[in-house]
Structure 1
Amino acid sequence: MMLVWLDDLRLNAELAGPATAPPLVLIHGLGVDLAVWDAILPCLAAHRTLRLDLRGHGQSDTPLAPYTMGALIRDTERLMQHFALKDAVVLGAGEGGLVAQGLAVKRLDLFRSMVLTGSATRFGNPDLWQRRIAGLTDPGPDLEAEAAALLGPRWRGMATAGVVQQMLSRTRPDGWTGVAAAVANTDFYQTTATLTLPTLILAGGDDRKTPPDMQRETADLVAGSDFHLLPGGSHLAMLTHPQPFAAALNAFLKRIGHV
């Protein structure tokens, strides 16, 4: 891992795989960090894989909240340019899927295709998010409730519970409220509907945060996209169901010739 110095902040990133391999960019969602991809990373060894910590998360710098979606998109854009990655497959999880969608509209020249998991074109209305931001500010995030949203109601008995709790506890207060503020006013329904690039929607069958039907709506929105259901998968299916997740992802990458 390395801290990449940008104009206004440092972002933590990890670049793995052969220098000449086809690039794959992994963007996590609210409250977690790049460790969410640990379980599938060995299955992606044939790719040049960039994963990053969003601002306010993991080991990246934490500017004062609030953040804008434009800033989050620009952060990923600058990292891709820093590492000279183009013609990439960009995979966004949860709120990170909004970053992927926004970047695809802004910089389609950097994309080969897009993969979304646990994502949507928007996550609730601004009023809902303002209430959530108020709770994240005082008394602060309820880490048990956050873990339940990500893993499901039986999360305490899951092997991945400890990993998720560690990621949630590492996220700083301004990271929680900053990214939440960026998501609150983001609605990419109209812009994502203009995309025509190859797209895969990987939906966990037991995703309580972004139900499969909501994810299927995004698949229906993007012309020619594929929808793949992972039976029993949580919102963090890449962590709880890494083998079927990686198998579906690699099958898609092979189908589009990104190997």
Structure 2
Amino acid sequence: MIDPQGTAYDLTGPDDAPVVVLIHGLGLTRAVWQWLTPDLARFRILTYDLIGHGETAPPQGQPTLRDLAAQLAALLDHLDIDRAALVGFSLGGMVARRFAQDYPQRTTALAILHSAYRRTPEAQAAIEARVAQAETSGPAATVEAALERWYTDAARASRSDLMDLTRQWVLANDPQVYPRLYRILANGVDEVSAPQPPITAPTLVLTADEDHGNSPEMSVAIATEIPRARLVILKGLRHMALAEDPPAVNRPVRDFLTEVLK
């Protein structure tokens, strides 16, 4: 389905169940949630493609993180959904936090997965360099290094199918559009760090101990700023734990949502 703003989406699950929105990361599509949605079958699940991703229309000019939050608000309006829980992965975790700041009355809960906080100068320089690479040569310039950051050595050696699928998702991005979205990931973090007023929705913050770009220290910082937030650090996994080891991610997300969405 595609809404009047050009956003591609899928809405499944019981009509009367609490709504859970799944927000994917940079360079991916709503298909990345294929491993989680079966474990959330009791909820009304909304997945969609961010601006400039998958089947959704490209942006006009340089989009902002607030534009991505507004995209979700417009989609919820189109579907007559007043309130929802948000599960955001990576860039999607930034979108979820921006949405919770801009539309607190519409946010019932947050699960922030593998998402960034303020970076060190060295880390910021590294991501800016990747944006510059993408601007020059498109997603092909960064995808192999991304696979190294996203998956463990064991997964890259044994799961060629998963590597091929992930590579296919990233390489499908428009080379002219991809860097504009990458720039949001690089430069939008300050918007959602130390939010004022603080986010008050029940929140789960999750990352993995080998996800160095979205590190345990970052997740601790995010959780510290949100009252009563829960923190989960997965062992022996990297950025794409949701695809490499789905049960490790699905279990805490499902248990959290089941508890808070009564």
Q: Tell me, yes or no, whether TM beats 0.5.
A: yes
Asked whether the equivalents of residues 27 and 51 of structure 1 are also in contact (C-alpha less than 8 Å), the reply is yes
Q: Structure 1 residues 55 and 248, CA, compared in 2 at 3 Å: closer, same or farther?
A: same
- Aligned pairs for 1:23-62 (under 5 A) are 23-62=19-58
Residue identity opposite 1:131 in structure 2:
A
Q: Which one of 235, 243, 251 corresponds to residue 247 of structure 2?
A: 243
Is 78-87 or 119-128 further displaced after alignment? 119-128
Asked whether the equivalents of residues 113 and 205 of structure 2 are also in contact (C-alpha less than 8 Å), the reply is yes
Q: Note if 1:151 corresponds to 2:155.
A: no
Q: Note if 1:74 corresponds to 2:70.
A: yes
In the TM superposition, residue 58 of structure 1 has moved relative to its aligned partner by 1.1
Structure-1 residue corresponding to 2:3: 4
Distance 1:208 1:184 in 2: 15
Q: Structure 1 residues 128 and 148, CA, compared in 2 at 3 Å: closer, same or farther?
A: closer
Asked whether the equivalents of residues 149 and 238 of structure 2 are also in contact (C-alpha less than 8 Å), the reply is no
Among the aligned pairs, what percent are the same residue?
A: 27
Distance 2:165 2:259 in 1: 32
Distance 2:196 2:255 in 1: 24
1:175-207, CA deviations, whole angstroms, 9 ceiling, x for partnerless residues? Answer: 321212223332121216711221001212322
Q: Secondary structure at the match of 1:201?
A: strand
Structure-2 residue corresponding to 1:92: 88
Distance 1:31 1:177 in 2: 10
Residue identity opposite 1:229 in structure 2:
I
Q: Secondary structure at the match of 1:4?
A: coil
Specify which structure has the higher proportion of helix. 2
Unaligned runs of 5+ in 1: none
Q: Structure 1 residues 194 and 113, CA, compared in 2 at 3 Å: closer, same or farther?
A: same
Structure-1 residue corresponding to 2:232: 228
1:226-250, CA deviations, whole angstroms, 9 ceiling, x for partnerless residues? Answer: 0012222321222112112111111
Q: Note if 1:115 corresponds to 2:119.
A: no
Distance 2:108 2:50 in 1: 22
Q: Which one of 133, 136, 148 corresponds to residue 135 of structure 1?
A: 133
Q: TM-score, normalised by structure 2?
A: 0.89
In the TM superposition, residue 158 of structure 1 has moved relative to its aligned partner by 4.4
In the TM superposition, residue 5 of structure 1 has moved relative to its aligned partner by 2.0
Structure-2 residue corresponding to 1:252: 256
Structure-2 residue corresponding to 1:190: 194
Asked whether the equivalents of residues 83 and 108 of structure 2 are also in contact (C-alpha less than 8 Å), the reply is yes
Distance 1:242 1:176 in 2: 27
Q: Report the RMSD for the aligned CA atoms in angstroms.
A: 2.0
Q: Secondary structure at the match of 1:115?
A: strand
Q: How many residues of Structure 1 are paired with residues of Structure 2 in the alignment?
A: 254
Asked whether the equivalents of residues 35 and 167 of structure 1 are also in contact (C-alpha less than 8 Å), the reply is no
Asked whether the equivalents of residues 86 and 96 of structure 2 are also in contact (C-alpha less than 8 Å), the reply is yes
Unaligned runs of 5+ in 2: none
